Chain A
Amino acid sequence: MDLEQGKKIYIEESRELLDDMDQALLALESDPSDSELINRIFRTAHTIKGSGGMFGFDEIVSFTHVLETLLDKVRAGSIAIATDPKGDSPLLALLFRARDNLALMVEGLSTGASAPAAETEEIRGLLQSYGGSGKAAGPAPSAAPAAPGGGPADPDHYSHVSVRFGRDTFRHGMDPAAFLHPLAKLGEINTVICVLDSLPALNDESFDPEDCYLGFEINLCTAASKTEIEDVFEFVRDESRIAILPPESSVGEFVDLIKSHPGEDMELGAYLVQCRAVTSTEIMRALEEQKKGGGLIGEILVKQGSVQKEVVEAALEKQKTVRAQKAQEASSIRVDAGKLESLIDLVGELVIAGANVLQLSHKAGSGALVESASGVYRLVEELREIALSVRMVPIGETFTRFQRVVRDISKEVGKEIALVINGGEAELDKTVVEKINDPLVHLVRNSIDHGIETPEVREKRGKPAKGTIRLNAYHDAGTIVIEVSDDGGGLNRERILKKAVERGLISAGQNLSDREVYRLIFEAGFSTAEKVTDLSGRGVGMDVVRRNIEALRGSVDVSSEEGKGTKVTIRLPLTLAIIDGFQVGVGGNSYVVPLDMVVECVELTEADRRSSNGRDFINLRGEVLPFIALRHLFGGNGEKDARENIVVIQYAGMKAGFVVDGLMGEVQTVIKPLGKVFQGLKGVSGATILGSGRHPLAILPPLSPFEGERIKVRGCGLGIGRIEKGRKH
Chain B
Amino acid sequence: MEIKATKRKGLHRLAVSGEATVYGVSEAADTLRSALAGAERLQVDLSSVSEIDSAFIQLLLAAGRQADRDGKKMEIVGYGGFGEEAILVLSALQIQSSAASQ
- Which A residues have a C-beta under 8 Å from some C-beta of B? 170, 175-178, 180-181, 184, 189, 191-194, 196, 199-204, 207, 209-210, 212-214, 216, 280, 284
Complex: how many Å from CA A181 to CA B82?
13
Contacts of B91 in A (CB 8 A): 192
- Contact assessment for B22 and A181 in the assembled complex, using a CB-CB cutoff below 8 Å: no
Distance to closest chain A CB from B101 (angstroms): 12
Picked from A176, A209, A213, A214, the residue with its CB within 8 Å of the CB of B28 is A209
Picked from B22, B53, B58, B92, the residue with its CB within 8 Å of the CB of A192 is B92
Picked from B22, B28, B92, the residue with its CB within 8 Å of the CB of A193 is B92
A199-B26 contact, Cβ under 8 Å, with A177-B89, A194-B96, A284-B102: no
Does B36 sit at the interface, judged by CB under 8 A? yes
- Which B residues have a C-beta under 8 Å from some C-beta of A? 22, 25-26, 28-29, 32-33, 36, 53-55, 57-59, 61-63, 65-66, 68-69, 83-86, 88-89, 91-93, 95-96, 99, 102
- Contact assessment for A200 and B53 in the assembled complex, using a CB-CB cutoff below 8 Å: no
The residue on A at minimum CB distance from B25 is A209
Complex: how many Å from CA A189 to CA B102?
24
A170-B22 contact, Cβ under 8 Å, with A177-B85, A280-B99: yes
- Contact assessment for A209 and B26 in the assembled complex, using a CB-CB cutoff below 8 Å: yes
Picked from B55, B69, B88, B99, the residue with its CB within 8 Å of the CB of A189 is B88
Complex: how many Å from CA A200 to CA B53?
18
- Contact assessment for A175 and B62 in the assembled complex, using a CB-CB cutoff below 8 Å: no
Distance to closest chain A CB from B99 (angstroms): 5
Complex: how many Å from CA A216 to CA B28?
24
Contacts of A180 in B (CB 8 A): 85, 88-89
- Contact assessment for B65 and A202 in the assembled complex, using a CB-CB cutoff below 8 Å: yes
Contacts of A212 in B (CB 8 A): 54-55, 58
The residue on B at minimum CB distance from A181 is B85
Contacts of B99 in A (CB 8 A): 280
The residue on B at minimum CB distance from A169 is B54
The residue on A at minimum CB distance from B27 is A209
- Contact assessment for B22 and A210 in the assembled complex, using a CB-CB cutoff below 8 Å: yes
Contacts of A175 in B (CB 8 A): 22, 53-55, 85
Contacts of A194 in B (CB 8 A): 89, 92-93, 96
Distance to closest chain B CB from A309 (angstroms): 25
- Contact assessment for B33 and A203 in the assembled complex, using a CB-CB cutoff below 8 Å: yes
A202-B89 contact, Cβ under 8 Å, with A170-B55, A177-B54: no
Contacts of A177 in B (CB 8 A): 53-54, 57, 83, 85-86, 88-89
- Contact assessment for B65 and A199 in the assembled complex, using a CB-CB cutoff below 8 Å: yes
- Contact assessment for A214 and B58 in the assembled complex, using a CB-CB cutoff below 8 Å: yes
Contacts of B61 in A (CB 8 A): 196, 199
Complex: how many Å from CA A192 to CA B96?
9
12 residue pairs from A and B, CB less than 8 Å apart = A175-B22, A175-B53, A176-B54, A177-B85, A191-B92, A202-B59, A203-B66, A209-B28, A209-B55, A209-B59, A209-B62, A210-B55
Contacts of A176 in B (CB 8 A): 54, 89
Distance to closest chain B CB from A214 (angstroms): 6
Complex: how many Å from CA A280 to CA B32?
32
Contacts of A210 in B (CB 8 A): 22, 25-26, 55
Contacts of B66 in A (CB 8 A): 201-204
Contacts of B68 in A (CB 8 A): 201
A200-B29 contact, Cβ under 8 Å, with A175-B54, A177-B54: no
- Contact assessment for B84 and A207 in the assembled complex, using a CB-CB cutoff below 8 Å: no
Complex: how many Å from CA A191 to CA B95?
9
A199-B88 contact, Cβ under 8 Å, with A209-B29, A210-B25, A210-B26: no
The 7 lowest CB-CB distance pairs between A and B, nearest first, are A202-B66, A201-B65, A177-B85, A201-B66, A192-B92, A209-B29, A209-B25
Complex: how many Å from CA A376 to CA B36?
58
Distance to closest chain A CB from B16 (angstroms): 14
Contacts of B83 in A (CB 8 A): 177
Distance to closest chain A CB from B37 (angstroms): 8
Complex: how many Å from CA A200 to CA B65?
8
Contacts of B84 in A (CB 8 A): 181
Complex: how many Å from CA A81 to CA B96?
45
Contacts of B53 in A (CB 8 A): 175, 177
- Contact assessment for B29 and A192 in the assembled complex, using a CB-CB cutoff below 8 Å: no
Quick one: which of B61, B69, B88 has the most chain A CB within 10 A?
B88
Distance to closest chain B CB from A408 (angstroms): 51
Distance to closest chain A CB from B13 (angstroms): 17
Complex: how many Å from CA A26 to CA B93?
47
Quick one: which of B25, B54, B63, B66 has the most chain A CB within 10 A?
B54
Contacts of B92 in A (CB 8 A): 191-194, 216
Complex: how many Å from CA A178 to CA B83?
10
Contacts of B102 in A (CB 8 A): 280, 284
The residue on A at minimum CB distance from B22 is A170
Complex: how many Å from CA A175 to CA B56?
10
Contacts of A189 in B (CB 8 A): 88
Contacts of B65 in A (CB 8 A): 199-202
Complex: how many Å from CA A202 to CA B42?
14
Picked from B22, B33, B58, the residue with its CB within 8 Å of the CB of A199 is B58
Complex: how many Å from CA A280 to CA B85?
25
Contacts of B54 in A (CB 8 A): 170, 175-177, 212, 214
The residue on A at minimum CB distance from B32 is A202
Distance to closest chain B CB from A311 (angstroms): 20
Contacts of B86 in A (CB 8 A): 177
Contacts of B25 in A (CB 8 A): 170, 209-210
Complex: how many Å from CA A194 to CA B33?
23
Contacts of B58 in A (CB 8 A): 199, 209, 212-214
The residue on B at minimum CB distance from A281 is B102
Contacts of B95 in A (CB 8 A): 191-193
Picked from B26, B69, B85, the residue with its CB within 8 Å of the CB of A201 is B69
Quick one: which of A181, A199, A209, A216 has the most chain B CB within 10 A?
A209
A199-B62 contact, Cβ under 8 Å, with A192-B88, A194-B89, A209-B28: yes
Complex: how many Å from CA A203 to CA B72?
14
The residue on A at minimum CB distance from B26 is A209
Complex: how many Å from CA A207 to CA B54?
15
Distance to closest chain A CB from B92 (angstroms): 4
A202-B85 contact, Cβ under 8 Å, with A209-B26, A280-B99: no
Q: Known contacts A193-B95, A210-B22; can you find 11 more A-B pairs with CB under 8 A?
A: A170-B25, A180-B88, A189-B88, A196-B61, A200-B62, A201-B65, A202-B62, A209-B29, A210-B55, A212-B54, A214-B58
Contacts of A192 in B (CB 8 A): 88-89, 91-92, 95
Contacts of B28 in A (CB 8 A): 209
Complex: how many Å from CA A280 to CA B53?
28
Contacts of A201 in B (CB 8 A): 62, 65-66, 68-69
Distance to closest chain B CB from A275 (angstroms): 15
